[in-house]
């Protein structure tokens, strides 16, 4: 019933301990019979007596087993007290014990929220030699010592006492200040602390903005191609979606936009094409939405990672009327796992967003707010961002050269910056088939078809990230994609 | 323009640095004039030249200022590039610069999510000598060294690489296993990993459950008195609420419950009264909801902190049909700031909840999932919980004795455990007025009126937490409450 894996990074002692504990919890051992003895397990598993003995010591300390003198180890029934009570036939006899089980599959039919979305493969970096994955930071670039220093300094007793503060009503003061100084200022946005809300990543910023600005039955405009998760989110919230065409300068100011209550746009760095909207069109967009009395949600993803010394201003920085709600996150410029994003808008709006956040999740993790604040205040964030930006710029150039060799004119290097290139494969190519084909060769990329309203006619698009792949492997990986595509064409 | 506070825990150097940076970002300094010199600032603020000089060194490293030989420090325009562009009159001239500003107050009128809720005072523990606050853990009880060890061990490069995993689709495997073994097993619940979802605290678990089980226009049953945040949440989601009466054994099985699509209940430890539903009623409740084809959301808050060696089984452990969705969190038994909660239900339900979580926040912070998993695996969690449970039990007894002296029969010590006592003051007493009255004496408690559907007739209830207050101060604090009440009566 117990097996050990000598290749595992987990010690043998821990493996044994864990498996016995799980067995106990799952009632695989009888209460009135001894558990396998130390000697027996040691022999069966080919593991030293000391190792098994240590495992049992831990199990005893943890309350899973008890020792009966001369009889060996037994399950400690106290570890499962409630279940014991539950199984009392006197009581369970009262229930009309149903044969049937509630059919959740039927319940969710037609109302499922399990919509198509990007699922990054588990252990992506370990599994693929050419991980053209998006939104994942190369761990070798991360200043882990600086990060540890900040985490350590945020964990003293004094700070712990501060954790008693109600973080539903206030965000970490230093973090808000740092976001204002080091992130928003560079986007041309001058914000006060009461105009900023810290969120559980950029996704929550987008969700709160959508819920506050658009009611069920109203229409949200989304770029086509655009961010699929926002289309899904609208569907989940009962909001209609109007897809809006883009050109090489981002969202086109067509009549389609006039029908929407609110627009979701990525003006500085369009998702997924990476094109940048020129300032003139930004101003025209603001004027038009002002005339229409519409709201705009600006998603400024990857804003910190700009290849220009003077990146184009955010739409929000030009917003005189106040109808733009700005969302962003530190997921691309720090670590996505920390889940730190932000909303910037009118203070009235922020007050409502805070109330909504309270009822959905209360607040983002306090310790991460504190550690990130220190990381920014000490200048580590700026240095890290400058470092990865330089690296990405080089990788981006390498990738674009490799792409031009195989697919001339089919991609444009992102003018703004960021971590990915958008590629249009020849007509008729199917990115999904291609992805499966190159997987065996260790290549991973994101297919782009589902960012379009008409997925079927746009299967020939892919999104190639360069944030996680080693510079020296980029050309090789692109060669493999091109070769697989040529093979498919020949077949 | 700059001021220093010698009482602040922040160093003078940091204070100066921060204020200059904010001034720069807010364009308080002209670009073409030197910033105040080191000598000038040193004189004006009465601070050493070295301190100011260090502050400027940091500002230069951070890119806020640049040095012009012989002329002093100047604002580095690169720190505000986008705003500079935005202010170009050539461009802004294009906008029909609106005099008016969008009126968000009017927009949110009648649709505000800013509903009544508990707001714990900031720096609660520092500010009050008698903090009868709920849900806040006494920092002196927290094993900070064990916690630091786990945080450190979860931050090596190997783990960082694991952060590349898509945590939207999987939770931390070890954390799920530990929750199953160390938390759920003790509640009599035998769960597989695919029946568990990690959430951003218990609040997200409740929100996801509500969204998945109840549609807008349907009815949710909530105990009366009960958890106000869930009533608010239902209102936010367009769900009707039916308040259901309770007695000394929790939710009463009245006909009211038959009208609901779903019930939200706290059977093992009723919120806020702390009464425990006996197993017979739990079984009857399951039978009735099964007959009615209703769902039940069980909130098992503070479940780990049980004063009984064999606490009563969770409702979920008796659930044969599968209509109970179980929610809980580590907020009361570890730290609320980490935001780790969980949902336990049918695997189909968990799949949907995961998809919904993805679209709302993606996932809870990865680093916290890892640190908590280690903290549990190493047995620190069990030891910590055992420790605080013993302390709380003692504090609870002390508090109850003190209450009996002043308000005989007006409170019952919680049978289950947890961190608070519910107190009914004499008829006519107003807990809100009382709270204001005792604040000056350093006493804080939660008023209970708004947990009732009829708040006006129930202003005489309060909730007294004992998790954060020192044992030796409990009786004194209760004396102060009683004295203030007597004063009010005499006045």
Beta-bridge partners for A240: A219
Q: Are B117 and B228 in contact (CB under 8 A)?
A: yes
Percent helix / strand / coil, chain A, rounded to 5 = 45, 15, 40
- A76-128 residue pLDDT tens: 887 664 543 433 333 333 334 445 789 998 898 888 888 888 888 877 888 89
- Structure confidence at residue A181 (pLDDT): 86
Whole-model pTM?
0.85
Total Cβ atoms within 10 A of residue A429: 16
For A354, the closest chain B residue by CA position comes to B114
Q: Which of A63, A83, A207 sits opposite B317 (nearest CB)?
A: A83
Give first-to-last CA distance, chain B, whole Å: 50
Please answer yes or no on whether A189 and B139 come within 8 Å at the CB atom.
no
In a mutational test of the B interface, the residue from A116, A359, A465 whose CB has the highest number of chain B CBs within 10 Å is: A359
Please answer yes or no on whether A114 and B355 come within 8 Å at the CB atom.
yes
Task: Tell me the nearest-neighbour CA distance from B444 into chain A, angstroms.
Answer: 13
For B345, the closest chain A residue by CA position comes to A104
- Structure confidence at residue B375 (pLDDT): 95
- B147-171 residue pLDDT tens: 999 999 888 766 776 666 678 888 9
Task: Tell me the nearest-neighbour CA distance from A66 into chain B, angstroms.
Answer: 16
Q: How confident is the model at residue B83 (pLDDT cuts 50, 70, 90)?
A: very low
Total Cβ atoms within 10 A of residue B198: 27
Strand, helix or coil for residue B272: coil
pLDDT at B90 over 60: no
Query: Does B272 sit behind a cis peptide bond, omega within 30 degrees of 0 on the bond before it?
Result: yes
Token look-up 């949110």 returns: B108
DSSP class of residue B217 equals: T
Residue B79 CA, chain-centre distance (Å), reads 36
In a mutational test of the A interface, the residue from B17, B75, B82 whose CB has the highest number of chain A CBs within 10 Å is: B82
pLDDT greater at residue A29 or residue B269: B269
- Structure confidence at residue A111 (pLDDT): 85
CA-based nearest residue to B200, from B332, B361, B374: B361
pLDDT at B81 over 60: no
* Whole-angstrom distance, CA of residue B342 vs CA of residue B328: 6
- Structure confidence at residue A110 (pLDDT): 84
* Whole-angstrom distance, CA of residue A220 vs CA of residue A241: 5
Torsion angle defined by CA atoms of residues B341, B343, B344 and B347, in that order, rounded to the nearest 10 degrees: -130
Mean pLDDT of chain B: 90
- B310-340 residue pLDDT tens: 788 899 999 989 999 999 999 988 988 999 9
- Structure confidence at residue A387 (pLDDT): 93
Q: Which of A25, A122, A368 sits opposite B365 (nearest CB)?
A: A368
pLDDT at B86 over 50: no
Taking residues B64-86, what's their average pLDDT?
A: 74
Q: Output the six-digit token pair for B412.
A: 């019952």
For B136, the closest chain A residue by CA position comes to A164
Total Cβ atoms within 10 A of residue B291: 11
pLDDT at B18 over 80: no
* Whole-angstrom distance, CA of residue B167 vs CA of residue A120: 9
- Structure confidence at residue B274 (pLDDT): 97
Q: Are B487 and B415 in contact (CB under 8 A)?
A: no
C-alpha distance from residue A6 to each of A10, A13, B141, B194 (Å): 9, 11, 39, 26
Residues in chain B closer than 8 A to A319 (CB atoms): none
Task: Tell me the nearest-neighbour CA distance from B23 into chain A, angstroms.
Answer: 10
- Structure confidence at residue B93 (pLDDT): 35
Please give the angle made by the CA atoms of A362, A364 and A367, to the nearest 5 degrees: 125
* Whole-angstrom distance, CA of residue A355 vs CA of residue A209: 12
Q: How confident is the model at residue B379 (pLDDT cuts 50, 70, 90)?
A: confident
pLDDT greater at residue B94 or residue B387: B387
Instruction: Out of A261-270, A328-337, B246-255, B351-360, pick the least confident.
Output: A328-337
Residue B76 CA, chain-centre distance (Å), reads 41
Residue A448 CA, chain-centre distance (Å), reads 18
Strand, helix or coil for residue B177: helix
Q: How confident is the model at residue B282 (pLDDT cuts 50, 70, 90)?
A: very high
For A83, the closest chain B residue by CA position comes to B188
In a mutational test of the B interface, the residue from A21, A79, A98, A164 whose CB has the highest number of chain B CBs within 10 Å is: A164
pLDDT at B23 over 90: no
Beta-bridge partners for A387: none
Which stretches in chain A have pLDDT values below 50? 81, 83-98
- Structure confidence at residue B92 (pLDDT): 36
Strand, helix or coil for residue B121: coil
* Whole-angstrom distance, CA of residue B220 vs CA of residue B264: 7
- Structure confidence at residue B80 (pLDDT): 65
* Whole-angstrom distance, CA of residue B355 vs CA of residue A112: 9
- Structure confidence at residue A155 (pLDDT): 85
* Whole-angstrom distance, CA of residue B74 vs CA of residue B29: 9
Residues in chain A closer than 8 A to B337 (CB atoms): 163, 167, 365-367
What percent of chain B has pLDDT above 90? 67
Residues in chain A closer than 8 A to B238 (CB atoms): 216
Alpha-helical runs (H) found in A26-102: 38-45, 49-61, 81-86, 89-92
- Structure confidence at residue B88 (pLDDT): 37
Q: Which of A207, A361, A366 sits opposite B203 (nearest CB)?
A: A361
Residues in chain B closer than 8 A to A312 (CB atoms): 82, 85
Q: Output the six-digit token pair for A204.
A: 């929550």
* Whole-angstrom distance, CA of residue B118 vs CA of residue B462: 12
Q: How confident is the model at residue B85 (pLDDT cuts 50, 70, 90)?
A: very low
Alpha-helical runs (H) found in A197-338: 201-213, 228-236, 279-292
Q: Which of A83, A317, A367 sits opposite B83 (nearest CB)?
A: A317
């Amino acid at each position: 019933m117990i097996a050990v894996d000598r290749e595992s990074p987990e010690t043998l002692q821990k493996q044994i301990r864990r498996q016995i504990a799980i067995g106990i919890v799952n009632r695989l051992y009888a209460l009135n019979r001894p558990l396998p003895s130390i000697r027996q397990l040691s022999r069966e598993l080919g593991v030293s007596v000391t190792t098994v003995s240590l495992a049992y010591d831990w199990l005893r300390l943890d309350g899973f087993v008890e020792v009966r003198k001369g009889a060996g180890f037994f399950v400690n029934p106290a570890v499962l007290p409630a279940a014991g009570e539950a199984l009392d036939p006197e009581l369970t006899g009262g229930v009309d014990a149903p044969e049937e089980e509630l059919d959740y599959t039927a319940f969710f039919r037609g109302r499922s929220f399990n919509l198509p979305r990007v699922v990054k493969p588990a252990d992506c970096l370990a599994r693929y030699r050419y991980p053209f994955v998006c939104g994942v930071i190369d761990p070798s670039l991360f200043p882990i010592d600086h990060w540890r220093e900040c985490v350590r300094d945020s964990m003293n007793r004094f700070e712990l006492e501060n954790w008693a503060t109600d973080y539903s009503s206030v965000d970490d003061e230093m973090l808000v200040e740092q976001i204002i100084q080091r992130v928003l200022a560079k986007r041309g946005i001058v914000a006060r602390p009461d105009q900023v809300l810290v969120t559980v990543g950029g996704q929550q910023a987008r969700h709160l903005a959508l819920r506050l600005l658009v009611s069920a039955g109203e229409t949200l405009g989304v770029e086509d191609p655009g961010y699929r998760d926002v289309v899904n989110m609208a569907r989940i919230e009962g909001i209609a979606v109007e897809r809006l065409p883009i050109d090489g300068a981002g969202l086109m100011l067509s009549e389609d936009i006039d029908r929407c209550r609110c627009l979701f746009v990525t003006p500085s760095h369009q998702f997924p094409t990476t094109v940048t909207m020129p300032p003139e069109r930004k101003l025209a967009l603001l004027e038009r939405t002002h005339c229409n009395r519409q709201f705009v949600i600006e998603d400024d993803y990857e804003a910190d990672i700009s290849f220009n010394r003077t990146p184009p201003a955010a739409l929000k920085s030009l917003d005189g009327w106040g109808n733009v709600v700005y969302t962003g996150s530190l997921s691309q410029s720090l670590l996505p796992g920390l889940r730190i994003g932000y909303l910037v808008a009118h203070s009235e709006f922020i007050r409502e967003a805070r109330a909504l956040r309270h009822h959905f999740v209360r607040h983002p993790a306090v310790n991460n707010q504190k550690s990130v604040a220190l990381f920014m205040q000490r200048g580590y964030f700026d240095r890290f961002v400058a470092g990865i930006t330089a690296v990405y710029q080089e990788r981006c150039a390498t990738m674009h050269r490799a792409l031009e060799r195989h697919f001339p004119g089919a991609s444009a290097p992102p003018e703004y910056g960021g971590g990915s290139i958008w590629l249009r494969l020849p007509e008729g190519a199917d990115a999904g088939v291609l992805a499966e084909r190159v997987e065996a060769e260790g290549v991973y990329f994101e297919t782009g078809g589902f960012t379009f309203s008409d997925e079927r006619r746009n299967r020939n698009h892919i999104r190639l990230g360069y944030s996680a792949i080693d510079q020296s492997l980029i050309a090789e990986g692109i060669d493999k994609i091109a070769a697989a595509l040529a093979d498919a064409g020949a077949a």
